[in-house]
Structure 1
Amino acid sequence: MASNRGQGGIQQLLAAEQEAQHIVNAARSAKMARLKQAKDEAEREIAEYRAHVESEFQKKVQASSGDSGANVKRLEYETAEKINHLSTEGSRISSEVVQMLLKQVTTVRN
């Protein structure tokens, strides 16, 4: 009888060990599923954020290239204005400069 009781106790221990193993395996599976889900959500959020940042970057590039064209036109206009001003001033004072140079060249100093 003691042998039967010992045998029954061992069977109970083996059954409890198997049940504990099933519980641990189920917990591991649940943990891995949660980790996979968290990873998938994080990847999705990263992709959304990356798309948002890329969109903002493209908007800024578009805005700055539009500004760049306007800046180029403005600079071309300002450059043409300065060239015209310098040409006018050069024409206005060229005779004075020629007279001053002739005077300096023809003056003899001892």
Structure 2
Amino acid sequence: MIVATGRVVVTSAVDIVAKYRNLSDSEQILYIMASSSSQGGIQQLLAAEQEAQHIVNAARSAKLARLKQAKDEAEKEIAEYRAHVELEFQKKVAASSGDSGANVKRLEQETEAKIHHLKTEASRISQDVVEMLLRHVTTVRN
């Protein structure tokens, strides 16, 4: 600290006492006045530093609160999207399962129709086939 006379530089409490004793009466008065005004300045600086620290702490707390809120909102959106996608998937599964049952029934009906058609055709031409086979077996060629 530099005192009003400009000659005294104070670096510790021991230096303050030693320098104070070596000053003249008028210098001691100036030193006391400078010390008291610089003490007020130091107090103001300490108060300003504390206030700044409170402001920084409040800003950090607000930032953490905003981050937590953003995280919560993001998790909520993810959960909603996941539920929406799952619902769409379940709808598609249900639709394809229903179609699958209908497809199986349709295929069974088509198969039965084809089997019936083959049986009727076989019974219709069976006599002709038997006659043709007998004719080829009994006919001798030279």
- With the length of structure 1 as denominator, give the TM-score of the two structures: 0.80
- Provide structure 2 residue ranges, at least 5 long, that are not aligned to the other structure: 1-32
Distance 1:58 1:38 in 2: 30
Residue of structure 2 equivalent to 1:37: 69
Aligned CA RMSD, in angstroms, stands at 2.3
List 4+ stretches of structure 1 deviating above 6 A: 106-110
Q: Does 1:81 align with 2:113?
A: yes
Distance 2:53 2:136 in 1: 111
Q: Which among 34, 42, 48 is matched to residue 80 of structure 2? A: 48
Deviation at 1:99, TM superposition (A): 4.7
Alpha-carbon distance change, 10 to 104 in structure 1, aligned in 2, over 3 angstroms: farther
Identify the structure with the greater helix proportion. 1
Distance 1:83 1:65 in 2: 27
Deviation at 1:16, TM superposition (A): 1.0
- Provide structure 1 residue ranges, at least 5 long, that are not aligned to the other structure: none
Distance 2:125 2:56 in 1: 99
Q: Does 1:11 align with 2:46?
A: no
Identity %: 84
Higher relative contact order (CA 8 A, sep 6+): 2
Residue of structure 1 equivalent to 2:60: 28
Q: Which amino acid aligns with 1:58?
A: Q
Alpha-carbon distance change, 101 to 11 in structure 1, aligned in 2, over 3 angstroms: farther
Q: Which amino acid aligns with 1:80?
A: E
Distance 1:57 1:105 in 2: 66
Alpha-carbon displacement from aligned partner over 1:24-63 (angstroms, at most 9, x marks no partner) = 1101111111111111112112212222222222222222
Q: Which amino acid aligns with 2:45?
A: L
Q: Which amino acid aligns with 1:91?
A: S
Q: Which among 93, 105, 110 is matched to residue 125 of structure 2? A: 93
Bigger-Rg structure (1/2): 2
Distance 2:71 2:136 in 1: 86
Deviation at 1:6, TM superposition (A): 2.1
